[in-house]
């Protein structure tokens, strides 16, 4: 398994009439929707997903599409997962993290891709063994390859980066107060 990580902003509260906030969040984030995946049934727990060797058969993929088309794909109790391409935003966040977080802490990890998940889903980290974090209803994930040398210190510092704070505020303007976590799979 390759090393990767996520800086995550999430809410555990189900959104009322979710299609409108989905549309608003995608508009606020900007960028292009590269692809969307929707589960074919209710989202399974993180342990079931790890144990399920037929995972690809439980997902329904959709190609790149206009952001305005994504909310119509939302179905209650299913997970809608969208990859957003916004190079200017992600370059700005990546550069801010590299400039602000010392290299001896971050090593080769920095967020470079943006994903949004709507519908009940588990957040977890896999370092030696799975660590459950929360059952989220909506999460915005800044994904990157690699792993920091000092995960605990990175977790502390990344949420103090001014551009990350600004990004969180933009997302909170749509979703309300958010919780955060930074996770790695190693």
pTM here is 0.89
Q: Which domain holds residue 45?
A: 4-175
Residue 135 maps to a domain = yes
CB 88 within 8 A of CB 32: no
Q: What is the per-residue pLDDT for 45? A: 58
Q: What domain count does the chain have?
A: 1
Rounded to whole angstroms, how far apart are CA atoms 8 and 111? 10
pLDDT over threshold 80, residue 12 = yes
DSSP letter string, 10-30: EE-SPPSSTHHHHHHHHHHH-
Tell whether 64 is covered by a domain.
yes
For residue 62, is pLDDT > 80?
A: yes
How far, in Å, CA of 68 to CA of 70, rounded?
A: 6
Q: Report if residue 137 sits inside a domain.
A: yes
Q: Specify if 165 maps to a domain.
A: yes
Q: Is residue 181 part of a domain?
A: no
184 in a structural domain: no
pLDDT confidence tier of residue 106, bands split at 50, 70 and 90 = very high
Q: For residue 66, what are the CA distances in angstroms to 76, 118, 140, 143, 147?
A: 21, 17, 18, 22, 32
Within a domain: residue 76?
yes
Q: What share of the chain is helix, strand, coil (3-state, %, to 5)?
A: 35, 35, 30
Structural domain includes residue 183: no
Residues composing the chain: 186
pLDDT for res 132: 87
Higher-scoring residue by pLDDT: 129, 61: 61
């Amino acid at each position: 398994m390759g090393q990767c990580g996520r800086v995550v902003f999430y809410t555990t509260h189900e959104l009322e009439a979710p299609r409108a906030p989905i549309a608003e969040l995608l508009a606020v984030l900007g960028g292009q929707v590269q692809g969307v995946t929707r589960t074919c049934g209710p989202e399974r727990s993180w342990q079931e997903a790890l144990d399920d060797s037929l995972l690809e058969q439980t997902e329904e993929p959709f190609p790149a599409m206009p952001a305005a088309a994504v909310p119509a794909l939302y179905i209650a109790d299913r997970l809608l997962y969208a990859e957003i391409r916004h190079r200017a935003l992600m370059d700005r966040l990546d550069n801010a993290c590299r400039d602000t977080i010392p290299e001896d802490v971050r090593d080769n990890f920095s967020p470079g891709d943006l994903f949004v998940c709507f519908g009940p889903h588990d957040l977890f980290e896999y370092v030696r063994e799975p660590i459950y974090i929360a059952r989220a209803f909506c999460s915005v994930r800044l994904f990157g390859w690699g792993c920091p040398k000092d995960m605990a210190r990175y977790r502390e510092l990344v949420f103090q980066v001014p551009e990350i704070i600004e990004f969180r505020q933009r997302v909170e303007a749509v979703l309300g107060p958010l919780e955060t976590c930074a996770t790695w799979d190693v």
